Amino acid sequence: MAALPPKKKQRKRNPARGDAGKLDRLDSLRWTSSLPDADDDPFSAFAGLNDFEGGVLSLEEIDESEYGLELPKALQRGGKKRKTQTKRKREESDGNEVIGDEGTDGETMKEVKKNKKKKKKKTKKAKKPKESMDNEEESVNVVNTNDKTDVEKDEEDEVDDSEYHAWYELRLHPLLMKSISRLKFKEPTPIQKACIPAGAHQGKDVIGAAETGSGKTLAFGLPILQRLLDERDKFERKVEERGQADEQIVSEGFLRALIITPTRELALQVTDHLKQVAVGTDVKVVPIVGGMSTEKQERLLKGRPEIVVGTPGRLWELMSGGEIHLVELHSLSFFVLDEADRMIDNGHFQELQSIIDMLPMIREGHAEDTENCVTASGFQRKKRQTLVFSATIALSSDFRKKLKRGSVKTKQDGELNSIEALSERAGMRSNAAIIDLTNASIMANNLEESFIECKEEDKDAYLYYILSVHGQGRTIVFCTSIAALRHLSSLMKILNVNVWTLHAQMQQRARLKAIDRFRGSDHGILIATDVAARGLDIPGVRTVVHYQLPHSAEVYVHRSGRTARASADGCSIALISPKESSKFASLCKSFSKESFKQFPIEASYMPEVLKRISLARQIDRILRKESQADKSWFQRNAESIELIVDDNDSEDERANNIRKKKASSAQHKKLQQELNSLLSRPLQPKTFSSRYLAGDGISPLLQQQFEELARQKLDNKKKKMVVIGQDCVEPLQALRSSGQEVSMDTKGAAEKRRNLDNLRRKRKEDKKRLHDQKRKERKRLKAGGD
Ligand SMILES: Nc1ncnc2c1ncn2[C@@H]1O[C@H](COP(=O)(O)OP(=O)(O)OP(=O)(O)O)[C@@H](O)[C@H]1O
């Protein structure tokens, strides 16, 4: 085991330098005062709050091969030294001299083409010897061995380079351009366009804010890869010029970029995304997250990956244990906080703070302190860059000034309580590029938001309506508490609605499997807590349902942002109970929204929906009771095998329990039969008539469905009855065709909320006064008695 991490170095405040700029928006969106009381929420809303880093999980090993985390074979056998990459890299990069700052736009793409041809020839040649490749060669590249087939496949696809001209001005390395064209990203997204020059070519720190799904991962990922490839090429040129190979330095592989994300799933996704872009390069990307075996991760780190993506908990566990690759940070060139505000949000960022304190100190205008460095190359000793990204970052308007003065405030006990304090502590410089591309509403442009006002107890029915009438495309249903999630998933299963669940108390393997299965199902339904709110990038999510409102506007933004990603569209539906209405109004106020679309409900479906829900709830109750009864059965059996269990039931009580169980089983059977008969026929409006296709007061949606039905009936007279609504109209379409804009009385709601807060405060003060009075009285009586 390596030695403990070096002691924290004392930091100097950065001297003021550079232009002062102001960021005059992004006020905090929080509505913390509205945190619901436990009794506000039938599912005890706080149960799911502790989602950070996955909550309490057993560290069951996940199946590494399923997530591309397997170790190189040579390492599995005990860790052989990495073969020098320089030569191989040089072969691959032959003719790639026109790169980075030195290349011109046109030349960069020409190089890609030229290399493609060369590569084609080489791949053909290389194919045979591959089988006889020695183990050392295999160990060199975890990514490349798998990736070569991708590259080969890609090369067979003819890509019209002219389609990618929008990327030219970003002057990316030819190998990166190759990946971009393979991924068919025709042009950089605005945040990529803005961040890549600052991060990749000007070596600046960057704070980036842009809407969800806008490509922020590559906005920080491409600058990292660009700089690594650039440095490598320059180094190789130098070596060639000198005529001697100082390969020791480069081939040893220090940690160059440390990317921290708030959740494990996000870390794995970011790793995957970067690997896709790093195809064909030697750069290795490794995820370090909880839920995997620590030993295996340590072996993974023996491969000396240049980029590590991880969650704070596991990273700090390994760092504080002296894991050599993670504590040799003198060559670290990038420190990245993805979804940075989430790290602040949650009170448990002690580990993150400790990690930041391990980073070598940066003095403005100097290379970082490298007095303890052993072999860092001159190229690697450049300044470390700090990149901080999120869709919802709140910065004070004078943040840049504060950075210059070094006066960003931390809490009194030295805890980092803001993204600003965190950034400064990580070494952010005052000339950082602050790029805020969020619009006034912060929401993604292609997202249609809507709401349904309903009683708390009717939420299940409305959700069932959405899923069964409009069950098109993937849907994510967000709950605030795990209790609500469990209730919902059980109910939906009883109703034969196939759902997957994701929450922090699940084992890591199950969490990843749920995501994988959801990803693999075109009309899948995922019921999740806020552990899935941030960063998850699953294509084809058409609808997000907020079954319970989240505790902050930021979380609402991130949840909704699981749909309408990249250039796709999508819709969100918030189910609002009377108790949540003032919270919802605050939300509208946060986004300066004066009106909101009401999701159209075809009321004539509801009697049937409610009937099914009522049966399902009764069955659910019986099942719960039965599982309780099963526990006492278990206790009885435990006794028979001499297991000591607490059981004070008398014989009579036991007999009684068995009788009850039998009775409830019979009732269960009856209810299930009734439900099955309802479920066996399609859900249809009560007023539906197969003979008359018109009626007064029907909604545009129903009208549209009737017309569709009429068309189909005409087409094929023998055809069976068409199911209205099902498989017809997805939520976004229904919303667009018949959603009504409703103006929000944000002032009235704010007033109501203030009154409620005042009332609560007054009650609390009265209680305290009464308590004090009683205490004094007791004291006085006691003194009198003495
Ligand atoms: N230039 C591009 N052109 C087209 N698609 C892109 C481009 N860059 C990234 N994407 C794709 O857009 C999707 C969203 O990207 P990404 O996950 O990085 O968004 P994000 O801004 O980080 O979102 P969030 O804030 O929710 O975490 C991904 O599927 C990614 O592959």
pLDDT in tens, 251-276: 458 899 999 998 899 999 999 999 99
Ligand 1 atom with the smallest distance to the CA of 273 is 31
The token pair that represents 58 in the structure block: 């057993």
What value does the mean pLDDT take over residues 758-776?
A: 90
Complex ipTM over 0.95 = yes
Nearest CA owner, ligand 1 atom 9: 215
CA distance 306 to 379: 14
CA distance 297 to 326: 12
Cα(5) to centroid of ligand 1, in Å? 36
Which of 214, 263, 338, 534 for a ligand 1 pocket mutation test, highest count of atoms within 8 Å of Cβ? 214
List, for residues 12-21, the tens digit of each pLDDT value: 333 333 333 3
Is the C-beta atom of 262 inside 6 A of ligand 1? Answer: no
First-to-last C-alpha distance (Å) of the chain: 66
Given a cut of 80, whether residue 532 has pLDDT beyond it is yes
CA distance 502 to 482: 9
Nearest CA owner, ligand 1 atom 22: 216
What value does the mean pLDDT take over residues 586-600?
A: 84
Nearest CA owner, ligand 1 atom 1: 188
Among the listed ranges 163-172, 296-305, 404-413, which one has the minimum average pLDDT value? Answer: 404-413
Cα(537) to centroid of ligand 1, in Å? 8
Helix axes 459-469, 606-640, angle to 10 degrees: 110
Residue 167 CB coordination number (10 Å): 25
What ranges in 682-745 are assigned the alpha helix state H? 700-715, 731-738
Q: Which residues pair with 541 in a beta bridge?
A: 474
Q: What angle do CA 386, 29, 416 make, to 5 degrees?
A: 40
Q: Which residue has the higher pLDDT, 731 or 630?
A: 731
List, for residues 297-325, the tens digit of each pLDDT value: 999 899 999 999 999 999 999 999 999 99
Long-range contact pairs involving 298-304 (C-beta distance under 8 Å, separation at least 24): 298/323, 299/71, 299/75, 299/76, 299/79, 300/69, 300/71, 300/75, 301/325, 301/326, 302/75, 302/79, 303/71, 303/72, 303/75, 303/82, 303/139, 303/142, 304/82, 304/252, 304/253, 304/254, 304/255
What pLDDT does 29 receive?
39
Which of 191, 193, 195, 216 for a ligand 1 pocket mutation test, highest count of atoms within 8 Å of Cβ? 216
Given a cut of 60, whether residue 75 has pLDDT beyond it is no
Q: Which residues pair with 259 in a beta bridge?
A: 309, 336
Which of 218, 268, 275, 558 for a ligand 1 pocket mutation test, highest count of atoms within 8 Å of Cβ? 218
Can you give the pTM of this predicted structure?
0.70
CB crowding 201-210: b at 16 or more within 10 Å, else e: beebbbbbbb
Cα(197) to centroid of ligand 1, in Å? 18
Cα(213) to centroid of ligand 1, in Å? 5
Is the C-beta atom of 189 inside 6 A of ligand 1? Answer: yes
Q: Is 477 helix (H, G, I), strand (E, B) or coil?
A: strand
Among the listed ranges 205-219, 243-257, 343-357, 713-727, which one has the minimum average pLDDT value? Answer: 713-727
Cα(312) to centroid of ligand 1, in Å? 23
Phi then psi for residue 587, to 5 deg, are -60, -45
Nearest CA owner, ligand 1 atom 20: 213
What pLDDT does 711 receive?
67
Q: Could you tell me the strand order of the sheet in which 285-288 lies?
A: 285-288, 307-310, 257-260, 334-338, 385-390, 206-209, 433-436
Q: Which residues pair with 673 in a beta bridge?
A: none
The token pair that represents 556 in the structure block: 């609402």
Which H helix or E strand runs over 334? strand 334-338
pLDDT-derived band at 424 (thresholds 50, 70, 90) equals: confident
List, for residues 346-389, the tens digit of each pLDDT value: 655 788 888 998 988 765 544 444 433 333 334 444 579 999 99
* Burial of 650: CB neighbours in 10 Å, binned 0-12, 13-18, 19+: exposed
* Burial of 697: CB neighbours in 10 Å, binned 0-12, 13-18, 19+: exposed
CB crowding 417-446: b at 16 or more within 10 Å, else e: bbbbbbbbbbbbbbbbbbbbbbeeebbbeb
From residue 529, alpha-carbon distances to 338, 479, 502, 517, 586 in Å are: 20, 5, 7, 17, 22
Contact 594, 744 (CB under 8 A): yes
Is the C-beta atom of 537 inside 6 A of ligand 1? Answer: yes
Is the C-beta atom of 565 inside 6 A of ligand 1? Answer: yes
What value does the mean pLDDT take over residues 662-666?
A: 76
Contact 105, 169 (CB under 8 A): yes
